[in-house]
Structure 1
Amino acid sequence: MVAVPYRLVRNLLVAAAALYCSLLLEAAAGFPLDVRTSFLSELGARDQSTSLYARAMDLSSSALTLLAVLLARHAREFSGLLVSAAVFAFGTMFDSFSPMDVVPVLHEATSTVAGVGSIGMAVCTLIVLRRCGWTSKFLAALAGGVLITQVWLGCVVAYETLSGAEVAAPGILQRASTLLFCLLLGTLLPGLRQALSR
């Protein structure tokens, strides 16, 4: 943690979390999509009035996350977490360039990369906290929530894709997962600092 410019990296991650939280955009736009059946990435579809905002938010969030990773790159004890954060950021960045309605296959691929990165971040956070004796229970709960909801969401999407059958309310699951991930991203550095200082 010594080599990491703590305040700057913390602020970058908090800003990235706020920008990635497209639930805020959805609420500001008056919930233009059916929250039960739609995915948040549909806010970035070209036929949506929120398209430009949603894609700009994803692009900005991923750029800030990558900058935080670059600034924290010397913290070797967090290498797995940093790699996972970079994977998430690259997936999200390329997601912003490939809206669902234009190139759905590419969008699914980039969304999968972002999902894998967020799962990796959750797992690496839990590994670090385990080494510290689970001293930050809030951060551990968030990481566990992200891990469970992301894996569950991945299974739901895979089932829908392979079987062609619809699953009840995947939109709510995705929104819950996104909210948990944004909270994890925004509290990650303070939580790790607290855990390591005990």
Structure 2
Amino acid sequence: MKFIDTAIPDVKIIEPTVFGDERGFFMETFRQSLFEENCSPRPFVQDNHSKSRQGTLRGLHYQINNPQGKLVRVVSGEVFDVAVDLRRSSATFGKWVGVLLSAENKRQLWVPEGFAHGFYVTSDSAEFVYKCTDYYAPEYDRSLRWNDPALNIQWPLVDNNQPQLSAKDENAALLSEADTFA
């Protein structure tokens, strides 16, 4: 496995070593010892799997208490995945990292606690899987506005169409009014 730094040092791209031939492929997607050595010691307590159609934007989500670190990947299709630093004490507060994750490139993204996370589906559909470091706690769930001008995230919108959002995400907070981390 290869661990690649991003513009935000705590966010990492992980590329697996893929062994393939005419029959298919094999890859190791997670090894605790390598993850701890290259990212940080974290327990993972919950795995999630979602499927979304093209143009769907999920996020930017985070939990203000019981924050979740997320190790994310795509098993079908392609998404543009985004992590936004919401740690006020961080030199990268309010900055974002965006990465294309796909079944083809097999990349993963480590999004630590203290970040808002979201993704936009660029393919016809996508299946997205992720490991979490804490349990989902709906009472602490927050959403940051996907198109906040202060963030200026460069979403690769298909045909420049507005994304499909949940009601929660349509009413998400701007960074200037959002609950953030110390």
Q: TM-score range by the shorter chain?
A: under 0.3
TM-score, normalisation: structure 2: 0.25
TM-score, normalisation: structure 1: 0.24
* Structure (1/2) with the larger strand percentage: 2
